């Protein structure tokens, strides 16, 4: 029995006067990982920003657990149970590793994730808990960003460009931990440049092209050529 967690209907969004999303609709069931793929500038990150409340100029409907959240601002959306791990990690430079994590837990939602659980998942962070977050390597910073998102015990986690700027071996390590992150019923939307990796990690995918969905479904339902055609708009 799959239960619907998120439903997006006819979402349109603007940056100033420029329209970036042209009527995006999709549904996401509880416990699934949805990969969002598409070329640079296709609107993947914009879609995440709409869901987490960072982009105010939008129309349509975003229902989360049956409740319309499309008018909520970011700090209210996180209370509803949607955490965002932003592109480029965006750690707070004047906070230590542990303080970054604690800030993620600011909203105090009940659930399995706390400092100990995060340190269990990423033991290196415990060693560096008092270090300034800027002193960490890119991969370690990404761990802090993921941990910070998990600390709010979300029902849905939005992972924007996890592998951006990281060495291939580090990316592999982080993806190896993905099942532990989403393992206990957590739903995730994954934005990723590396299409193969994204599709291998997900049960569903959406391909976005110029602000519209060009292909959607289960990754194994389509051939590589069909996905390429949707990706490049051929």
Partner 1 sequence: MTWVNIIIQGILVGGLYALFAAGLSLIFGVMRLVNIAHGDLIVAVAYLAWVIVQVTGLHPLLSLILVVPTAMGFGYALQMGILNRTLGRDILPPLLVTFGLSVIIQNGLLSIFTADSRKLNAGTLEIASFTALPGVNIGYLPLLQFVVAIAVIMGLQYLFYRTALGRAFRATSDDSDTAQLMGLDRRRVFAWAMALCLGVVAIAGVFLGVRANFDPAIGPGRLIFGFEAVIIGGLGNLWGTLAGGVILGVAQAIGAHINPGWQVLAGHLVFLLVLAVRPRGLFPRMDG
Sheet holding 212-217, edge to edge: 82-85, 156-160, 187-191, 33-37, 204-209, 212-217
Q: Which is nearer to partner 1, 52 or 171 (CB)?
A: 52
Residues making up the chain, counted from first to last: 234
**From 92-100, 118-126, 187-195, 205-213, span contacting partner 1 (CB under 8 A):** 92-100
Which tokens is 153 given? 């015990």
CB of 49 to partner 1, least distance (A): 10
Q: Which is nearer to partner 1, 83 or 213 (CB)?
A: 83
**From 7-15, 93-101, 180-188, 201-209, span contacting partner 1 (CB under 8 A):** 93-101
Alpha helices in 151-192 (DSSP H): 168-176, 178-182
Contact flags string 193-212 toward partner 1, x per CB under 8 A: --------------------
* Nearest Cα to Cα of residue 50 among 91, 76, 12: 12
**Cα–Cα distance between 171 and 96 in angstroms, integer?**
23
Q: Where are the beta strands (DSSP E) in the chain?
A: 4-15, 18-29, 33-37, 58-64, 67-68, 82-85, 156-160, 187-191, 204-209, 212-217
**Cα–Cα distance between 69 and 71 in angstroms, integer?**
6
Q: Does 71 bind partner 1 (CB under 8 A)?
A: no
In the list 19, 57, 71, 90, the residue contacting partner 1 (rule: CB under 8 A) is 90
What radius of gyration do the chain's Cα atoms show? 17
Residue 115, Cβ density class (10 Å: 0-12 exposed, 13-18 middle, ≥19 buried): middle
**From 30-38, 90-98, 122-130, 196-204, span contacting partner 1 (CB under 8 A):** 90-98
**From 15-23, 75-83, 161-169, 224-232, span contacting partner 1 (CB under 8 A):** 75-83
Binding residues among 110-169 for partner 1 as defined by CB under 8 A: 132, 134, 148, 152
**From 46-54, 178-186, 209-217, 222-230, span contacting partner 1 (CB under 8 A):** 46-54
In the list 99, 173, 194, 210, the residue contacting partner 1 (rule: CB under 8 A) is 99
Q: Which is nearer to partner 1, 74 or 124 (CB)?
A: 74
In the list 13, 37, 83, 157, the residue contacting partner 1 (rule: CB under 8 A) is 83
**Cα–Cα distance between 64 and 82 in angstroms, integer?**
9
Q: Does 46 bind partner 1 (CB under 8 A)?
A: no
Q: Residues in the site for partner 1, rule: CB under 8 A?
A: 52-54, 73-75, 78-79, 83-84, 86, 90, 92-95, 99, 102-104, 106-107, 132, 134, 148, 152
């Amino acid at each position: 029995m799959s239960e619907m967690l998120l439903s997006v209907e006819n979402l349109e969004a603007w940056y100033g006067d420029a329209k970036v999303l042209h009527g995006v609709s999709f549904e996401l069931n509880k416990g699934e990982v949805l990969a969002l793929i598409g070329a640079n500038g296709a609107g993947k990150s914009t879609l995440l920003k709409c869901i987490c409340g960072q982009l105010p100029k939008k129309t349509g409907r975003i229902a989360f657990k049956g409740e319309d959240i499309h008018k909520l601002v970011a700090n209210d959306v996180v209370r509803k149970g949607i955490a965002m791990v932003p592109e480029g990690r965006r750690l707070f430079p004047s906070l230590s590793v542990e303080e970054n994590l604690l800030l993620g837990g600011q909203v105090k939602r009940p659930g399995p994730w706390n400092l100990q659980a995060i340190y269990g998942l990423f033991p290196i962070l415990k060693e560096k808990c008092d270090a300034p977050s800027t002193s960490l390597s890119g991969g370690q910073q990404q761990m802090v960003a993921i941990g910070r998102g998990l600390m709010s015990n979300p029902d849905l986690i939005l992972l924007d460009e996890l592998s951006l700027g990281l060495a291939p071996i580090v990316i592999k390590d982080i993806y190896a931990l993905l099942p532990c992150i989403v393992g206990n019923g957590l739903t995730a939307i994954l934005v990723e440049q590396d299409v193969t990796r994204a599709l291998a990690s997900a049960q569903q995918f959406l391909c976005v092209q110029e602000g519209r969905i060009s292909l959607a479904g289960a990754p194994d339902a389509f051939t590589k050529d069909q996905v390429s055609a949707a990706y490049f708009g051929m």
